[in-house]
Amino acid sequence: MFEGYQILPGAQMRDYTTLKLGGPADWLALPASREEIAGLMREARSREIPVTILGHGSNVLVLDGGIRGLVIRMGRGMNRVEVRGREIIAQTGAMMGTVASAAAEHGLTGLEFASGIPGTVGGGVLMNAGAYGGEMAQVVSSVAGVTPDGGFLTLEGDALGFGYRRSAMQENGLVISEVRFRLEEGDPRVIRETMADLNRRRAESQPLDVPSAGSTFKRPEGAYAAALIDQCGLKGYAIGGARVSPKHAGFLVNTGERARDFLDLMRAVQRIVEERTGIRLEPEIRILGEDEA
């Protein structure tokens, strides 16, 4: 099965997610080109094997039973970054921090917001990741990828369907292989200072030394998830090894080994916040895989 590709059978997903949770995937593939992604997708499709795409695993909760089928992880084999004038062309597995640094080095402004987001550009585009007033939608000019049936497609403009933590790729199933950014010229010193300032603010307010997947819930209309959770007295609230960060109530963190605890904590926080404020928090993180058998 999947001969000729770099495959790790039974890889523990806790080793591939920032939450450090999740059981084994049947097969974990580490592709090195879009042709390999397409080949893997076609083989999986012909054998009716489900496919899950993963970047750096910084916005996912993988459940304890792991993931059935094939997980295609975009990482080191697909992380080239090229700067051409005001354009940056990044392969999907490049980390956003690396691309933001390349932009700064070439005096290009627009990606400062992304320098502290610990994910790949593919994951960032899929989620329309954003911070401090910036988001991917403002700087991405086109996205190339592999369609569910193994063909190649490039999307740009309105076809990218960006909204708050949303993109068309969440619906059309395009597996992102390359992202083009269009940036503006700026002063490299100012760009670096802005990045350092944002990263300082992040380190001051977020629990960066404990496993998490960032903000667990989306920002509800007219409110902030962290403020609502705090208002309900839930800072520090824990179920097993999962806990509401005492530093930032929007971050649920993991200090244990069970995804089940994390899921139970998410549900408890949703229930308590809804009972006390009438507002339903929706998860921002994506839940993958299956509960333990």
Which is it for strands 60-62 and 286-288: parallel, antiparallel or unpaired?
Answer: parallel
Nearest to 32 by CA among 94, 85, 63, 78: 78
Q: Does 126 bind ligand FAD (CB under 6 A)?
A: yes
Minimum gap (Å) between residue 104 Cβ and ligand FAD: 18
Q: Whole-angstrom Cα distance, residue 260 to residue 62?
A: 10
Catalytic hit among 115, 177, 215, 245 = 215
Closest by CA to 280, choosing from 200, 212, 223, 214, is 223
Q: Which residues, at least 6 apart from 172, have a Cβ–Cβ distance to it below 8 Å?
A: 147
Interacting residues with ligand FAD between 229 and 288 (CB under 6 A): 286
Residue 6: how many CA atoms within 13 Å on its side-chain side? 11
Binding mask 188-207 for ligand FAD (x = CB under 6 A): ------------------x-
Tallying the residues shown for the chain, one arrives at: 293
Q: Is 289 in the site for ligand FAD (CB under 6 A)?
A: no
List 165, 180, 243, 260, catalytic entry: 165
The answer to whether 98 contacts ligand FAD (rule: CB under 6 A) is: no
- Whether 284 is catalytic is yes
The CB-side HSE value for 74 (13 A sphere, CA atoms) comes to 32
CA distance 211 to 80: 27
Piece of 148-156, 168-176, 187-195, 239-247 that binds ligand FAD (CB under 6 A)? 168-176
Least CB distance to ligand FAD at residue 207 (A) = 8
- Does 168 bind ligand FAD (CB under 6 A)? Our answer is no
Please report which residue ranges of 128-241 form alpha helices under DSSP H. Answer: 169-172, 188-205, 225-231
Contact string (CB under 6 A) for ligand FAD, positions 26-65, x = contact: ---------------------------xxxxxxxx-----
State the CB neighbour count (10 A cutoff) for residue 217: 23
Least Cβ distance, residue 146 to ligand FAD (angstroms): 9
Q: Is 165 a catalytic residue?
A: yes
Out of 74, 111, 225, 253, the only residue in the binding site for ligand FAD (CB under 6 A) is 74
Pairing of strands 251-254, 286-288: unpaired
Is 166 a known active-site residue?
no
Size of the site for ligand FAD (CB under 6 A): 32
- Give the one residue of 24, 110, 130, 289 binding ligand FAD; rule: CB under 6 A: 130
Q: Is residue 21 close enough to count as binding ligand FAD by CB under 6 A?
A: no
> Whose Cβ is closer to ligand FAD: residue 199's or residue 277's?
199
Q: Which stretch binds ligand FAD (CB under 6 A): 27-35, 114-122, 223-231, 234-242?
A: 114-122
Place of tokens 């090229």: 82
Q: In Å, how far from its chain's centre is CA 48?
A: 26
Looking at the Cβ atoms of 123 and 150, the one nearer to ligand FAD is: 123
Helices (H), the chain: 34-46, 96-105, 121-127, 169-172, 188-205, 225-231, 259-277
Query: Which residues sit at the interface with ligand FAD, rule CB under 6 A?
Result: 18, 53-60, 74, 92, 117-120, 122-124, 126-127, 129-131, 169, 175-176, 206, 208, 212-214, 286
Which residues carry out catalysis? Answer: 165, 215, 284
